[in-house]
């Protein structure tokens, strides 16, 4: 859950709490008016307790002064004082500040009103959280339903694929793969044969062009006796590219007829080495 969702949830919860708090009943009025006799009695008891506290403070001050004068006595008296205080607290019984029924009734009403208000606040918060949890539960149930549908569809698909895989035996898959490989090989052989026929028809051996050159038309350099055909040149370039792709360049020697080299370079079928012009390579078309 990101920060935006947390902020939206907090705002929704605060809105619901404000709605519930707006519907809370008003505070129970507490009667704070006491009679003069009850008020005077309560003040007397408070003064009596205050006098008792002052007397205990004075006793503590004197005991501290005596303990500073005698360190040994300080340790013994402190232990005795702690033991006496512990015994006194163990024997002490709870005692109300006032026994006047009128005072106790007023204090009880005020305490009950405060407790009632706190419980109403807790109730409003609980109701707001309950409604928010209901909405969250509903959205989570919808999400679970969608995931169950996806899981069911995936399980059906897996079952269908498993049934289809069971129908296809290992032998059948192997035979099908062999047939595909054979078709690829046949297509490759046919393609190479067609290419060879095209090159033999349109790009014959250089020696066959000697008669045309003698007539003065398109005079080309006279080939040597051991010059290779354009098909053989392409085969060398292709084999070099496939066998050593990291070093596809071949050295140009006297068997390469310059017009054919220029033809390959001009039409982008071959490239020269960037540092050695006596080497060429086949353009990587794949």
pLDDT at 160 over 50: yes
205: left (phi over 0), alpha (psi -120 to 50) or beta: beta
Percentage of the chain exceeding pLDDT 90:
21
pTM: 0.35
Confidence (pLDDT) at 79: 76
Residue 99, phi then psi, degrees to nearest 5: -105, 10
How would residue 207 be classed by pLDDT, with cut points 50, 70 and 90? low
SS3 11: helix
pLDDT at 32 over 60: no
Torsion angle defined by CA atoms of residues 175, 179, 185 and 186, in that order, rounded to the nearest 10 degrees:
150
Tell me the per-residue pLDDT of 77-86, one tens digit each, with 9 for 90 and over.
677 777 887 7
Q: Map out the domains of the chain as residue ranges.
A: 108-167, 223-282
Contact between 259 and 244 under an 8 Å Cβ cutoff? The reply is no
Percentage of the chain exceeding pLDDT 70:
70
Q: How many helices, marked H, and strands, marked E, lie in the chain?
A: 8, 3
- State which of 12-16, 76-80, 107-111 shows the largest mean pLDDT: 107-111
pLDDT at 24 over 60: no
> Which residue, among 199, 172, 195, has the nearest Cα to 260 in the 3D structure?
199
């Amino acid at each position: 859950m990101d920060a935006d969702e947390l902020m939206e949830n907090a705002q929704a919860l605060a809105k619901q709490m404000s709605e519930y708090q707006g519907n809370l009943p008003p505070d129970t009025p507490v009667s704070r008016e006491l009679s003069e006799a009850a008020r005077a009695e309560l003040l007397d008891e408070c003064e009596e307790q205050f006098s008792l506290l002052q007397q205990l403070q004075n006793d503590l001050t004197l005991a501290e002064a005596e303990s500073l004068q005698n360190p040994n006595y300080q340790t013994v008296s402190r232990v005795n004082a702690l033991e006496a205080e512990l015994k006194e607290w163990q024997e002490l019984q709870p005692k109300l500040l006032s026994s006047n029924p009128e005072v106790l009734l007023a204090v009880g009403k005020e305490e009950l009103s405060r407790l009632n208000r706190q419980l109403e606040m807790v109730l409003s918060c609980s109701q707001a959280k309950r409604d928010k949890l209901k909405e969250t539960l509903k959205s989570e149930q919808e999400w679970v339903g969608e995931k169950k549908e996806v899981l069911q569809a995936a399980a059906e698909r897996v079952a269908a694929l498993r049934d289809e895989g069971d129908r296809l035996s290992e032998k059948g898959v192997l035979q099908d793969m062999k047939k595909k490989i054979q078709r690829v090989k046949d297509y490759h052989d046919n393609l190479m044969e067609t290419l060879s026929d095209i090159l033999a028809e349109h790009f014959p051996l250089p020696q066959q062009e000697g008669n045309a050159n003698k007539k003065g038309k398109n005079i080309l350099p006279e080939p040597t006796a051991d010059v290779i055909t354009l098909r053989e040149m392409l085969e060398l370039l292709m084999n070099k590219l496939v066998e050593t792709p990291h070093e596809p360049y071949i050295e140009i020697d006297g068997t390469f007829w310059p017009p054919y080299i220029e033809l390959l370079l001009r039409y982008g079928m071959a490239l020269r080495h960037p540092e050695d012009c006596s080497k060429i390579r086949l353009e990587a078309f794949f």
